[in-house]
């Protein structure tokens, strides 16, 4: 086959491409869309200055890329390399100078305008690549800024949520404290109201008792109290309450009841025993006279006798004793005060 046959060697000289190519007849080669493979990717070819067709521009770019790949910079320092082509290809190769957009690149007479025009695609391609890199960097920068803004927004949202939570907790604590104070104040007011109510009830009770109880005499002076010790009393202690008053001062029933006894009673002199409805006994001793008799019912404040100095005494006075239904002695002063009376 022709592709396996050794190609004849031909010397390559500057300005002479393809041996005796200048003496041969060449057909014009015009690349078309069907014969030219489209350029893909990010690189694009800008419009040539000088009115070159698109097909010529593509061919020129291809040749430049091929030469560049082979190393234009290093080719000047290396010896010429002979290129061998099969006869079927070598005979059909056109003159390099006759190729549109290529002849000006290798011609010695190429002016600066042609060189600038043919160099434009590389510059444009490089510019597009630079613009692509710059666009990628700008996109990365924008993404980083967006992420930073998002993180700042999240941090602000977290700080805001923490501040709102703290404010809510403080408000809840303040509300709880205020509620506790209100409850304590309400409890204190309730306690005071209950105490006031109890005081009113007690006052009403004492008022009722005072209305139904009366002091045994008037114009008196307390000379001896219940439980005092002394040799004047046979038991060694005073068993009642002494109201010193002038002889003849009226003696009254402290409460409504029945005269249990009235008469002489030894060291007590003339004595009256008044039995109340609950069985309590009130003794009136040392009377000068008695106006009530045994079995008589009397009302509160009714006169039943008069102050005297009968029995074992040192002067006129009313000796009053109070005994429970069982016979035990009570403090007459405390008993009278419990009934709402002021002694």
Secondary structure element (H or E) that encloses residue 120, with its range = helix 112-212
For residue 134, what pLDDT is reported? 73
Nearest Cα to Cα of residue 258 among 292, 225, 284 = 292
Q: pLDDT digits over 245-263, tens only?
A: 999 999 999 999 999 999 9
300 in Cβ contact with 256 (< 8 Å): yes
Q: What's the pLDDT tens digit per position in 217-237?
A: 999 999 989 988 766 666 668
112-164 confidence digits (pLDDT tens): 444 444 444 544 444 445 566 778 888 888 989 999 999 999 999 999 999 99
Q: Mean pLDDT throughout 39-56?
A: 49
Beta bridge partners of 243: 222, 318
% the chain with pLDDT above 70: 59
The pLDDT value given to residue 206: 74
- The per-residue pLDDT for 16 is 45
Q: Pairing state of beta strands 221-224 and 241-244?
A: antiparallel
Q: What is the mean pLDDT of residues 178-195?
A: 93
């Amino acid at each position: 086959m022709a592709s396996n046959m050794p190609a004849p060697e031909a010397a390559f000289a500057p300005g002479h491409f393809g041996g005796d190519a200048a003496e041969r007849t060449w057909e014009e080669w015009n690349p078309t869309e069907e014969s030219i493979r489209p350029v893909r990717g990010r690189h694009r070819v800008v419009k040539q200055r000088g009115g070159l067709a698109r097909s010529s521009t593509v061919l020129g770019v291809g040749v430049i890329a091929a030469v560049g790949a082979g190393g234009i910079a290093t080719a000047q320092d290396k010896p010429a390399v002979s290129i061998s082509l099969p006869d079927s290809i070598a005979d059909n190769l056109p003159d390099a100078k006759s190729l549109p957009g290529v002849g000006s690149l290798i011609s010695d007479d190429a002016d600066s305008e042609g060189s600038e025009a043919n160099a434009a695609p590389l510059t444009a391609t490089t510019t597009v690549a630079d613009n692509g890199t710059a666009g990628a960097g700008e996109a990365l920068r924008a993404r980083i800024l967006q992420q930073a803004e998002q993180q700042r927004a999240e941090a602000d949202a977290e700080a805001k949520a923490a501040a709102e939570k703290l404010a809510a907790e403080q408000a809840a604590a303040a509300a709880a404290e205020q509620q506790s104070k209100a409850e304590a104040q309400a409890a204190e007011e309730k306690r005071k109201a209950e105490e006031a109510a109890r005081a009113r009830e007690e006052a009403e009770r004492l008022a009722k008792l005072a209305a139904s109880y009366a002091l045994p005499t008037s114009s008196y002076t307390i000379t001896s109290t219940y439980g005092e010790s002394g040799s004047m009393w046979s038991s060694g202690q005073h068993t009642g309450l002494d109201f010193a008053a002038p002889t003849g001062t009226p003696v009254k029933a402290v409460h409504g009841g029945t005269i249990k006894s009235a008469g002489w009673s030894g060291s007590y002199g003339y004595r009256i025993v008044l039995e109340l409805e609950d069985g309590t006994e009130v003794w009136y001793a040392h009377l000068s006279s008695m106006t009530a008799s045994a079995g008589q019912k009397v009302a509160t404040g009714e006169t039943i006798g008069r102050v005297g100095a009968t029995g074992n005494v040192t002067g006129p006075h009313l000796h009053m004793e109070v005994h429970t239904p069982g016979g035990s002695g009570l403090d007459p002063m405390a008993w009278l005060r419990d009934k709402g009376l002021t002694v």
